Amino acid sequence: MTGTDALNEDVVVAAQFDGGALDCGGGLLLLLTRNLRRVEPGEVLAVHTLEPSVPPDLEDWASLAGHTIVDSVADAEGWTVRVRRSGGSKADPFSSGPATPLGSRLWMYTNFNCNLACTYCCAASSPSAQARLLPVEVAAAAADEFVALGGQEIVLTGGEPFMHPEIGALVAEVSRRAPVVILTNAMVFSKGARRAALESMDRGEVTLQISLDSAEPDLHDAHRGAGSHARAMSGIALARSLGFHVRVAATIDERETASTAALHARLDEIGIPSQDRLIRPIAAQGVAEFGVPVTIDEVAPEPTLTADGLWWHPVAITDQRLKVSDSPLPLVEAFGTIRDTVAVQDAARHAGRRHVFRCA
């Protein structure tokens, strides 16, 4: 529940209405939806209610409807909940598309230590984090089983994967079994053993997805650390000069989405095509203090392997509720658990409404 002691005075409210004692099942949602359609995407609607069940219920509703709860504050006569209308399909700055078919992609956390301590890191990675290194032999065995099960793509993430002391060997083992995408901040592979590991990688099988959150250093450095933007830009240039296919991914605070236009313009300038860009919101996981809710019911599964287990999705790696297996192998058992869970979810959705109330 998003609770605060006082309403943020910096938030501009476009409209407001009083829901009285209505609860969400008794007509409030229809009234809310009608009023929300009268404000523009990105604007805020304030809802006052006397019903104590409404604030927590609106949290669940907002996550399903794609809107954002700005804040929720109790007062002498009830509660005020402020809702920011989503941008909708045309205005939404975040990348979208169909869910990845279950079993076609496998994520592997190579390690959890990182040279950065980003303010929103879903994995709670940092220079002081326990490395939890994925052994090369486990990665290779997982890749073998994954491909045998029909898998098509493996994504390596962290932490910073290039801080794994055997990253060259690990990538070599995995990439000779399936195409690989490495998520990296591109800041540590410019020289030494890491540069050698980078140059050893198969350009035809390895894609680098590099993090860049803004066109200029301000926002990127605010979340990732001073000087990180310049080093990321240098890393992008180096990777491309070495012949790698480079994608760029930005993690954007929903309050900072106006910056995405400038970022796209910058990527146009350096020649990153639109299909190689990903704009994603902050997930409410790890060290993030806010963000998109991540639960089994709300997020499509993308099986994610670590040295100590297998998880529902890569952004939920710190959430024990989304841990599928206490062991990274075998994959087939964890995949079966995920498929059975999805089948129950689908059955519940297909069951439809509980009542048919015919009046004619």
Residue 229: predicted pLDDT: 98
Residue 87: predicted pLDDT: 66
Ranked by mean pLDDT, the top range of 19-33, 173-187, 343-357 is 173-187
Which run of H or E residues covers position 280? strand 277-281
Which structural domains are found in the chain, ordered by start?
13-89 (3.30.110.40), 93-337 (3.20.20.70)
When pLDDT is averaged across residues 234-249 and rounded to a whole number, the result is 98
Per-residue burial over 179-207, b = 16 or more CB atoms within 10 Å of its CB, e = otherwise: ebbbbbbbbbbeeeebeebbeebeeebbb
Instruction: For residues 145 and 170, give the distance between their C-alpha atoms in angstroms, rounded to a whole number.
Output: 16
Query: Which band of pLDDT confidence, cut at 50, 70 and 90, is reported for residue 29?
Result: confident
Instruction: For residues 29 and 270, give the distance between their C-alpha atoms in angstroms, rounded to a whole number.
Output: 46
Between 285 and 35, the higher pLDDT residue:
285
Task: Name which of 36-40, 146-150, 281-285, 304-308 the model is least confident about.
Answer: 36-40
Instruction: Identify whether the C-beta of residue 128 lies closer than 8 Å to the C-beta of residue 106.
Output: no
Task: Name which of 37-41, 146-150, 291-295, 327-331 the model is least confident about.
Answer: 37-41
Task: Name which of 80-89, 191-200, 257-266 the model is least confident about.
Answer: 80-89
When pLDDT is averaged across residues 130-150 and rounded to a whole number, the result is 98
Between 344 and 80, the higher pLDDT residue:
80
Report pTM: 0.74
Instruction: Identify whether the C-beta of residue 20 lies closer than 8 Å to the C-beta of residue 49.
Output: yes
Q: How far is CA 173 from the centre of its chain?
A: 27
Is 339 a residue whose pLDDT tops 70? yes
When pLDDT is averaged across residues 122-137 and rounded to a whole number, the result is 98
Residue 162: predicted pLDDT: 98
- pLDDT per position as a tens digit, 77-104: 999 999 999 865 445 678 877 889 999 9
Q: What are the residues facing 68 on neighbouring strands?
A: 84
Query: Which band of pLDDT confidence, cut at 50, 70 and 90, is reported for residue 353?
Result: low
Q: How large a percentage of the chain has pLDDT more than 70?
A: 94
- At residue 26, the 3 state secondary structure works out as helix
DSSP per-residue letters across 26-73? GTHHHHHHHHHTTS-TT-EEEEEES-TTHHHHHHHHHHHHT-EEEEEE
Instruction: For residues 200 and 171, give the distance between their C-alpha atoms in angstroms, rounded to a whole number.
Output: 9
Is 194 a residue whose pLDDT tops 60? yes
Mention every residue, 6+ apart, whose C-beta is less than 8 A from residue 142. 106, 108, 305, 328, 329, 331
Is 54 a residue whose pLDDT tops 80? yes
Residue 205: predicted pLDDT: 98
Task: Name which of 6-15, 60-69, 91-100 the model is least confident about.
Answer: 91-100
Q: What Å distances lie between residue 330 and 145, 305, 339, CA to CA?
A: 8, 10, 15
In 3D space, the residue among 119, 116, 124, 156 whose CA is nearest the CA of residue 317 turns out to be 124
- At residue 343, the 3 state secondary structure works out as helix
Residue 1: predicted pLDDT: 41
Mention every residue, 6+ apart, whose C-beta is less than 8 A from residue 79. 48, 49, 52, 54, 55, 72, 73
When pLDDT is averaged across residues 20-42 and rounded to a whole number, the result is 86
Q: What Å distances lie between residue 197 and 98, 188, 217, CA to CA?
A: 34, 11, 28
On the question of a cis peptide bond just before residue 135, with omega within 30 degrees of 0, the verdict is no
Is 351 a residue whose pLDDT tops 90? no
Instruction: For residues 307 and 139, give the distance between their C-alpha atoms in angstroms, rounded to a whole number.
Output: 9
- At residue 239, the 3 state secondary structure works out as helix
Reading across the β-sheet that carries 44-49, which strands appear in turn?
Answer: 13-18, 44-49, 78-84, 68-75
Residue that the structure tokens 């994959």 belong to: 331
Instruction: For residues 105 and 305, give the distance between their C-alpha atoms in angstroms, rounded to a whole number.
Output: 11
Task: Name which of 8-17, 185-194, 326-335 the model is least confident about.
Answer: 8-17
Between 126 and 356, the higher pLDDT residue:
126
In 3D space, the residue among 258, 186, 250, 254 whose CA is nearest the CA of residue 214 turns out to be 250
